[in-house]
């Protein structure tokens, strides 16, 4: 999928999935926050090594997941 698609997936999880998980079960907030920090770190690393992966084109994969 390339780094652009992975970056978009991470953004989707951070903005859509994880907030809903926190609202659904407040007891898992600490775990969700921990996972969120790991995803943010991964996204930063992707930006640092973008020259090794194709990043030019936006992927349709994220749109397909969102519409499912």
CATH number at residue 63: 1.20.1250.10
Closest-CA residue to 15 (of 31, 39, 34): 39
- With contact defined as beta carbons under 8 Å apart, do 13 and 65 qualify? no
Amino acid 39: pLDDT = 94
- Structural element, H or E, at residue 43: helix 29-48
Count of structural domains within the chain: 1
Confidence of residue 61 (pLDDT cuts 50, 70, 90): low
| Structural domain that includes position 24 | 2-67
Residue 58 has pLDDT above 80, yes or no: no
pTM for this entry: 0.64
pLDDT digits (tens, 9 = 90+) for 12-51: 999 999 999 888 888 898 899 999 999 999 888 877 766 6
């Amino acid at each position: 999928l390339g780094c652009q698609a992975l970056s978009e997936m991470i953004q989707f999880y951070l903005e859509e999935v994880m907030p809903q998980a926190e609202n659904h079960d407040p007891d898992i907030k600490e775990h969700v926050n921990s996972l969120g920090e790991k995803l943010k770190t991964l996204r930063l690393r992707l930006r640092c090594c973008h020259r090794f992966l194709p990043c030019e084109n936006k992927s349709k994969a994220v749109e397909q997941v969102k519409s499912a």
